[in-house]
């Protein structure tokens, strides 16, 4: 008996050590909370101030974090579409898709309206009102304004009056325009429109004397929405197209249409790219992603877009193990099942690695349940077992998520994840049945557990719209197997002589 208790104690000790070694991870799309008057629906700007990070998005409001990993929502009035915020001479200036500039003593407002930007002289195809504006303050404290001319016009810049940031100090400069030779900039899901594009979303950083100006194309309605960059040795150029463009581009899987974002530097010197994720359905549906920025010895900037758990900011890239995704199958196998499904919304859509589909349980299903067998689907495959240690769920109704939660119930979802080796006896590894935070995207680590089956049970959700699960993914690693139910036949090697070929 003592031996049995000792074995049990050692087992749970190993689980605890494994969980500690796992460390902190993040996973895209980011599980951003939603509050009254705001949700994180793209066009993301992040500002570091006083050891805290402040995020603003189309959708209103703001989010605050101390580690770029855990974010709290804060209501902020008057946040424009595609917002940008910058600190200048002790004050915080907010702009975006608005002709006007706003100022506050705090990054969380309240903001005072300073009136519209005032250009100097006529501007041919240049300033046409505030759209995706970006204020950049150089090392000498000189402020500059950048914006897109809309359509194929490209990006413009101008020096601002240091005494009045609403005033242009000079005539605008056209920095670059749409180049149809840059195929990724073109309109279309296949970038098939050679003469049409939408250049937008400028963002500027300075590193080792080089100015990096990133921008977005082909348009936020496409999964080919992507990010590129130019470099210069002066804020207003001349700018040179980077040879390793596009900087961000991903058109397959759950994380697609990666563009219109911002770059922020963490205290440890690491640079982080935040970006919009364009969902396949509903049209215009969006989330937020982030990934590390790398610079090579020549100063070229690169970002690898990820959709599996990654080491959190503050940890070296190899500090934690990155598990493989283990239930991305095009259809559930014979031992996978669900409690109910509506016609046109089968449960298999929850695990098809595609944001354009969703599983919708029956309207009268009180606690919808989805069970996935992780092992291969046929009798001729080995029976696979896994160590699972993370889960992601994207909820959705199939309706477009609007620019801010301005009425109705907040999207509070409650659920639990269980695992089993035999499909009969289940143990809970993640319990979110008491969740009170409004969000429609979840990612959670948990202590590693051995499993052949995983089961998601949704216990409560906002009843104003039908429940949908866009994605249900469990992360882990292979951990042993049993022989297949039907043995694979073996063949004796025969000599290839004339007799054997008869």
Report the predicted TM-score, pTM, of the whole model to 2 decimal places. 0.90
Mean pLDDT of all residues belonging to the chain: 88
* Token representation of residue 145: 């304004």
- In the chain, CATH 2.115.10.20 covers 25-322
Per-residue pLDDT, averaged over 262-291, amounts to 90
Tell me: pLDDT of 296 over 90: yes
Element at 48 (helix H, strand E)? strand 45-49
* pLDDT at residue 281 in the model: 73
% of the chain with per-residue pLDDT over 70: 87
Contact 217, 151 (CB under 8 A): no
Per-residue pLDDT, averaged over 356-364, amounts to 95
* pLDDT at residue 324 in the model: 79
- In the chain, CATH 2.60.120.260 covers 325-482
Q: Which long-range contacts (CB under 8 A, 24 or more apart) does 11-19 make?
A: 15/447, 15/448, 15/449, 16/447, 18/389, 18/447, 18/448, 19/389, 19/445, 19/446, 19/447, 19/448
CATH number for the region 325-482 comes to 2.60.120.260
Tell me: pLDDT of 338 over 80: yes
* pLDDT at residue 495 in the model: 57
DSSP code of 15?
A: H
Separation CA 314–CA 267 (nearest Å): 8
Specify the CATH architecture of the domain 25-322.
5 Propeller (2.115)
* pLDDT at residue 501 in the model: 40
Contact 246, 214 (CB under 8 A): no
Per-residue pLDDT band at 282 (split at 50, 70, 90) = low
Least trusted range by pLDDT, from 127-136, 137-146, 416-425, 492-501:
492-501
């Amino acid at each position: 008996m003592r031996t049995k208790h000792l074995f049990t104690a050692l087992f749970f000790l190993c689980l605890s050590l494994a969980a500690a070694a796992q460390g902190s991870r993040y996973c895209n799309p980011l599980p951003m909370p939603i509050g009254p008057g705001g949700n994180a629906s793209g066009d993301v700007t992040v500002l570091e101030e006083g050891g805290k990070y402040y995020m603003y998005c189309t959708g209103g409001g703001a989010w605050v974090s101390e580690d770029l990993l855990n974010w709290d929502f804060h209501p902020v009035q008057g946040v424009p579409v595609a917002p940008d915020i910058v600190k200048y001479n002790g004050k915080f200036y907010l702009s975006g898709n608005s002709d006007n500039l706003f100022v506050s003593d705090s990054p969380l407002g309240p903001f005072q309206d300073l009136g519209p930007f005032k250009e100097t002289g006529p501007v041919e195809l240049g300033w046409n009102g505030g759209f995706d504006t970006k204020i950049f303050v150089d090392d000498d404290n000189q402020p500059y304004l950048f914006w897109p001319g809309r359509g194929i016009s490209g990006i413009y810049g101008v020096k601002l009056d240091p005494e009045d940031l609403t005033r242009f100090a000079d005539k605008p400069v056209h920095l670059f325009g749409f180049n149809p030779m840059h195929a990724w900039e073109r309109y279309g899901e296949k970038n098939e429109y050679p003469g049409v594009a939408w250049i937008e979303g400028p963002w500027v950083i300075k590193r080792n004397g080089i100015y990096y100006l990133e921008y977005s194309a082909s348009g936020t309605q496409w999964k080919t929405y992507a990010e590129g960059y130019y470099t210069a040795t002066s804020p207003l150029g001349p700018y040179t197209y980077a040879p390793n463009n596009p900087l961000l581009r991903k058109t397959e899987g759950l994380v697609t249409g990666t563009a219109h974002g911002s770059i922020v530097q963490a205290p440890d010197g690491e640079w982080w790219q935040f970006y919009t994720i364009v969902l396949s359905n509903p049209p215009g549906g969006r989330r937020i992603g982030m990934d590390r920025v790398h610079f090579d010895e020549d100063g070229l900037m690169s970002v690898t877009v990820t959709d599996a758990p990654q080491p959190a900011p503050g940890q070296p890239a190899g500090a934690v193990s990155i598990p493989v995704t283990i239930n991305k199958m095009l259809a559930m196998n014979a031992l996978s099942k669900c409690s109910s499904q509506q016609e046109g919304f089968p449960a298999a859509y929850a695990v098809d690695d595609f944001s354009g589909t969703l599983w919708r349980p029956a309207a009268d299903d009180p606690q919808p349940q989805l069970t996935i067998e992780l092992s291969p689907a046929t009798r001729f495959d080995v029976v696979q077992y896994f160590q699972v240690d993370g889960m992601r769920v994207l909820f959705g109704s199939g309706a477009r998520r609007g620019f801010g939660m301005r009425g109705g119930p907040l999207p509070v979802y409650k659920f639990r994840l269980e695992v089993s080796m035999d499909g009969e006896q289940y143990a809970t590894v993640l319990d979110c049945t008491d969740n009170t935070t409004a969000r429609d995207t979840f990612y959670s680590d948990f202590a590693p557990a051995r499993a052949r089956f995983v089961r998601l049970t949704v216990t409560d959700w906002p009843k104003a719209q039908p429940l949908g699960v866009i994605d249900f993914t469990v992360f882990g690693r292979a951990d042993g197997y049993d022989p297949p139910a039907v043995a694979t036949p073996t063949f004796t090697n025969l000599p290839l002589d004339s007799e054997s070929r008869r």
